Amino acid sequence: MNKPLSPLTSRQIAMIVNNIREVVVTSESNNLTKQSYNFLYLASGFIAHYNLNGFRGNYSIVSELISDILNNKPNNQWTNFRSGERDYDYYMAKKTCYNAICDMLESFGYKATRNNHWFC
């Protein structure tokens, strides 16, 4: 049987949020780190675009990345996991990180442009 997934640490969460803040402040997707890319492309609503450079290229207009992050927030709450279940801590750390990114973006005045429900 596979080992349970290790949750993000508070340091890893801070590094991801701070990196995305840097991308937003500089309006430069080339500042996105591998760590932040790995987090985002594994979130619901995102695809890898083959690699980090492809992802950066797809989001060369940073406002589109911001919009996709905020619009996919409802899809990244992992409410189907319950305490005590395998990988619960992993998904709750992902939720914490995703929500911290959204909180940071909202503190800059950005808002989601879609209703809060699941998208296919």
pLDDT class for 116, splitting at 50, 70, 90? low
Number of independent structural domains in the chain: 1
Question: Does residue 19 lie within any of the structural domains?
Answer: yes
Provide CB contacts within 8 A for 29, sequence distance 6+.
23, 55, 56, 57, 59, 60, 62, 65
- What's the confidence (pLDDT) of residue 120? 43
Question: Does residue 114 lie within any of the structural domains?
Answer: no
Q: What is the mean pLDDT of residues 64-88?
A: 96
Q: What is the mean pLDDT of residues 51-71?
A: 97
Instruction: Provide the domain limits for residue 56.
Output: 10-107
- What's the confidence (pLDDT) of residue 47? 86
> What one-letter code names the amino acid at 103?
D
Question: Does residue 1 lie within any of the structural domains?
Answer: no
Question: Does residue 88 lie within any of the structural domains?
Answer: yes
3-state helix, strand, coil in the chain (%, to 5): 60, 0, 40
- What's the confidence (pLDDT) of residue 115? 66
pLDDT class for 117, splitting at 50, 70, 90? low
Q: What is the mean pLDDT of residues 34-45?
A: 96
Question: Does residue 120 lie within any of the structural domains?
Answer: no
Across the chain, mean pLDDT equals 94
- What's the confidence (pLDDT) of residue 79? 95
Question: Does residue 97 lie within any of the structural domains?
Answer: yes
Question: Does residue 62 lie within any of the structural domains?
Answer: yes
Question: Does residue 115 lie within any of the structural domains?
Answer: no
